[in-house]
Structure 1
Amino acid sequence: MFSIQINSLDDLPKVAEEFLETFSDQRLFAFYGKMGAGKTTFIKALCRAMGSTDNITSPSFALVNEYDTNRPEKIYHFDFYRLKDMTEAMDLGFDDYVDSGNYCFMEWPEKIERLLPEKLVEVHIEEISATVRELKASIV
């Protein structure tokens, strides 16, 4: 279990490093939180901690963005918010991404709950105030 309070954006680089170290053997991450909770912001910090210099944005309309890192693995960043049904995720080749061995950061995974693999890291981000977030993560 990983649990931390993030008091400002300045804390993100350190928290991202700790998070990646805690889950160093994991590649699949499901991010839960209300709109504006900071899912994309934290994913951006994770990508930066992994050496990505790509433009990290929410793939709201594309459903998935791919980022390079300074590691052998790539990062696939999903945003299922606008997904109409799970068929869209299947047509996208979701299983291939999950089975690739690359990092998969998934926003709004509740939209594809039945497609999620059994072993992944559930990340819950809760807005405590305008600048403070609570992040809890565990392998499920």
Structure 2
Amino acid sequence: MDFSIEFDLKDLEDLSSSLFNIINSKVILFYGEMGIGKTTLIKSLVQILGGIDEVTSPTFSLVNEYRVTDDLVYHFDFYRIEDAIEALDLGFEDYLKSGHWVFIEWPDKIDDLLPSEAVKITIKQGKKCSRALDLELVNDNN
């Protein structure tokens, strides 16, 4: 099941809350150009999950960990890595197997490591100042 929606920043909290009603995986891949709002959406999602930690892009640290209600979120940003080996060296596969939320920016850098059960979110420029969000859910027939 896939869907698309156009939204403004003022709609972000409602959009984030709605996404959790339909997302069917704890591994979420975030696609989009630099500056399009991937980290902003992740910040909103972490808040909806009950997080109180400051959410920032882990561009230099590669991964940030956030405490949320009864769970953890691992937030990856692979923009700066050269290849999937760097992700493996970081222990990326262990994070995937943890059972916690895993949010990944720039997942195209590690295509071969991505699980088939990941949800894909693509953010694009919409009309004027809005954004368009495309959501690709995990196929329930797998």
Q: Is TM-score (shorter-chain normalized) higher than 0.5? A: yes
The one of 74, 97, 121 aligned to 1:99: 97
**Match in the other structure for 2:17:** 17
Q: TM-score when scaled to structure 1?
A: 0.93
Matched-pair identity in % = 45
Structure 1 outlier segments of 4+, above 6 Å: none
Contact map agreement 2:81 2:109 (CA 8 A) in 1: yes
Contact map agreement 2:119 2:135 (CA 8 A) in 1: yes
**Distance change >3 Å, CA 130–CA 76, structure 1 → 2:** farther
**Match in the other structure for 1:50:** 49
1:68-105 Cα distance to aligned partner (Å, 9 max, x none): 011x2200000000002211100111100011110000
Contact map agreement 2:6 2:126 (CA 8 A) in 1: no
Structure 2 regions of 5+ residues with no counterpart? none
What is the Cα deviation at residue 50 of structure 1? 0.7
Q: Count residues in correspondence.
A: 137
Distance 2:132 2:72 in 1: 27
The CA RMSD over aligned residues, in Å, is 1.2
Structure 1 regions of 5+ residues with no counterpart? none
**Match in the other structure for 2:64:** 65
| 1:32 lines up with 2:34 in the alignment | no
The one of 123, 126, 133 aligned to 1:128: 126
Q: What secondary structure, in the 3-state scheme, does the structure 2 residue paired with 1:74 have? A: strand
1:83-135 Cα distance to aligned partner (Å, 9 max, x none): 02211100111100011110000000000001101111011100125620000
1:31-55 Cα distance to aligned partner (Å, 9 max, x none): 0001111100000010011111101
Q: What secondary structure, in the 3-state scheme, does the structure 2 residue paired with 1:13 have? A: helix
The one of 77, 80, 83 aligned to 2:78: 80
